[in-house]
Amino acid sequence: MENIKTYFKKKNIDFFYPIAFILSIVPLIVRMKVVDSEQAVVDLFGTAAKSDLFSQRKAFILMIFCIILIFISIIFFKKIFKKKDKILNSILIASIIFLFFTFLSTMFSSYKQTAIWGIHDRAEGFITITCYIILLVYSIYTFKKTSDYKYVTIPILILVFINSFLGLFQYIGQDLIKTNLGMSMVVPSQYQTPNAKMNLLYEAGKLYGTLYHYNYVGSFVAIVLPILFCLSLFEFEDIMYKICLGIGSLLSVWLLLGSTSRAGIIGLIVATIFGIIIFWKLLYKKWKPLLICIISLLVIATGLNFAAKGAIFERIPALISDTLSVFKDTNDFDYRDHTPIRDIQYNDKETQIVIQNETIKISYENSNYVFKNSKDQVINYAKNNNTLTTSDEAFKNYSFMFGKIDNKSTRTDGLVLMVDNQPTFKFLLKPDNSIHLINANTKKDIDLEYPATFGFKGKEKLGSMRGYIWSRSIPMLKENLILGGGPDTFALRFPQNDLIAKYYAYDTPNMIVDKPHNLFLQIALNEGVIALLAFLAIMVIYIVDSIKLYALKNDYNRSQVLGTAICLGVIGYLFAGIFNDSVVSVAPIFWIVLGVGIAINFINRTELNIKRK
């Protein structure tokens, strides 16, 4: 042990190196893992094993790296942990509170396995969240010299360049991950089959790089673009590095536009507003070169949009439309007036499907399904292979498919309601000849839910259905004021059987809502409102401290520019987080950048205090 300490002391090794390595590597990991889930997840998704391409391996490698960071911190505790002042102590206390209530939420969760390790495609259980706090604290204490800022910017540039390269091919519909070479790299050999194809569910005209989803590319850009752009403007000593920062800024713009992420655009707009306020005096003096940069970016973006036949800006009108729709009065709106199915009811052994202006009553008599209208008149449905159709004008858009639910069935006990030839609700014929709605995945009985809602009435489709998710998620907060339901357990607690409202919002009831699409709701519901308040305390303390240190100065040195740029990146991520949640593909970048920002503030604050003395 003593020899190791002596070696590090002689070599003067920078303890921030591991963070730079994590920042460069973890977001780029794409490797499939089959996840075995607990019973509650199986009951929701209908299968015990789910493949995960973008999250589980990232989380596992992150955990290994964080264990190494813990060992380094223990061995060199006195050498690393030297910083101390009121602001830093306040942030650390808030971080401990956040992690403590995350731990309690995990221990008291009804879904412990998921709460500890996370759900498939997300992997943000207690272990991963603990890793985030380790990254934060380690970054705060090991980033000790502003001159080491390239240990942050170079990994960011690597991420931008690689994701831009992959994103170009994804955007034109030639995803390199789907090629034979790509599959050989990301899919373990035991799961590879001849002529296998990978369906990533992303169409041409959108890019996601290695970050799982194009929405999260927006969160990524909201962090890195303010940092790269600010530093490219203020870097004059190293011309080649300035050029690299400029190229990285342009590629970040490409990532944002190519992802079509409206959350990223909003995060960037808010970061820009804060940037204008903070740098106002300097911008006022140097408005000409800044104006040239802005016009150049607009020209490039417009040219790309023209070349892509309008695809680059395709979601901007929707963003404007959503913004305007917020102010519309929709208090009298009833979503059930706008769905083909209004309700599903039961009367003894008869199932009643309430449609607009009519009702389809279904019973099973003499080994046949019988259909009647609201007046108990028989609706003549004719068999065509395994489909029942009718020419009755009132019901012609409603047909049924029938068959056996599984191989053990001795009769045609499965019935699927088709609306305009699209499968909607699935029913099971019970042994007593009653007919009941079942989950399409698990084949288990379910009843329609009409959960409590808050706001967004008539605005359920706002923000790609975020209005629907938020309106059903906000009432859940009253159950999580102290403790949340456990990290990554949102999908298991959301009212998934709110099928009629889902039908209105998504145009299908067969949809699993697996995330809140809001960073702050995610924390409140999973880790608890107290954990959210602790998280907000960290952010407010840091941002207020940054504004006090950097706002409205006449001149800025490199350390102050870097501190401001990182603060803008944090702000960008937080405002993108109003529409996106945390994900292991991007969150480690945020927590590292936040830690570096807090460290730079400490450096600048210490220098300022020395000057005042």
Which tokens sit at 559? 């350390």
Could you tell me if 342 and 315 lie in one domain?
no
Interaxial angle between packed helices 529-550 and 86-107, expressed in degrees from 0 to 180 and rounded to the nearest 10 = 160
Q: What is the pLDDT of residue 191?
A: 80
88 in any annotated domain: yes
- pLDDT attached to residue 492: 95
DSSP 589-608: HHHHHHHHHHHHHHHHHHHH
> What does the pLDDT read at residue 8?
46
Of the residues 438, 467, 490, which one is the last residue of a structural domain?
438
Do 253 and 392 have their domain in common?
no
Closest CA relative to residue 521, chosen from 598, 567, 456, 439: 456
Q: Which two tokens stand for residue 62?
A: 């992150």
Q: Does residue 164 belong to any structural domain of this protein?
A: yes
Say what the pLDDT of residue 288 is: 72
Residue 541 pLDDT exceeds 60? yes
**β-strand pairing of 422-429 with 414-419:** antiparallel
Q: Which amino acid is at 290?
A: L
Q: Please report whether residue 604 resides in a domain.
A: yes
pLDDT at 274: 95
Say what the pLDDT of residue 236 is: 63
pLDDT band at 233 (very low <50, low <70, confident <90, very high): confident
The whole-number pLDDT of residue 10 equals 47
Is residue 447 included in any domain, yes or no? no
Total number of residues shown for the chain: 613
Please tell me whether residues 235 and 373 are part of one structural domain. Answer: no
d(C-alpha 89, C-alpha 605), whole Å: 14
Res. 199 pLDDT band, cuts 50 70 90: low
pLDDT at site 330: 76
Question: Do 248 and 341 fall within a single domain?
Answer: no
For residues 215 and 350, membership in a common domain is answered with no
For residues 183 and 217, state if they share a domain: yes
Rounded to whole angstroms, how far apart are CA atoms 58 and 180?
22
DSSP 91-102: HHHHHHHHHHHH
Give the number of domains in the chain. 2
Per-residue confidence (pLDDT) for residue 11, from 0 to 100: 46
Give a yes or no: residue 489 inside a domain: no
Residues 7 and 140 occupy one common structural domain: yes
pLDDT tens, position by position, 58-88: 999 999 999 999 999 999 998 889 888 899 9
Let me know if residue 406 belongs to a domain.
yes
Residue 136 and residue 105 in one domain: yes
The amino acid present at 404, given as its one-letter code, is K
pLDDT of residue 315: 60
Question: pLDDT, tens digit, for every residue of 7-59?
Answer: 445 444 589 999 999 999 999 999 999 888 898 998 888 887 788 999 999 99
In DSSP terms, which residues pair with 436 in a beta bridge? Answer: 428
303 or 585, which is more confident: 585
* Residue 249, in any domain of the structure: yes
* Residue 396 sits in the same domain as residue 298: no
Residue after which a domain boundary falls, among 438, 467, 500: 438
For residue 26, count other CB atoms closer than 10 A to its CB.
25
Q: What are the tens digits of pLDDT across the range 372-385?
A: 999 999 999 999 88
* Residue 318 pLDDT: 63
| Domain identity same for 433 and 284 | no
Instruction: Select from 407, 438, 469 the last residue of a domain.
Output: 438
Tokens of residue 362, six digits: 């279904």
Specify the pLDDT at position 443: 85
Are the beta carbons of 527 and 490 closer than 8 angstroms?
Answer: no
Distance CA 568, CA 321 (A): 27
pLDDT tens-digit profile of 94-105?
Answer: 999 999 999 999
pLDDT at 162: 97
Task: Say which residue the tokens 């969760």 belong to.
Answer: 109
- Give pLDDT tens digits for 101-118: 999 999 999 999 999 999
pTM over 0.75: yes
pLDDT band at 577 (very low <50, low <70, confident <90, very high): very high
Indicate whether 443 belongs to any domain: no
pLDDT band (50, 70, 90) for residue 481:
very high
**pLDDT number for residue 299:** 79
Pair (35, 64) in one structural domain:
yes
Range of the domain at 402: 335-438
**Residues 310, 345 within the same domain:** no
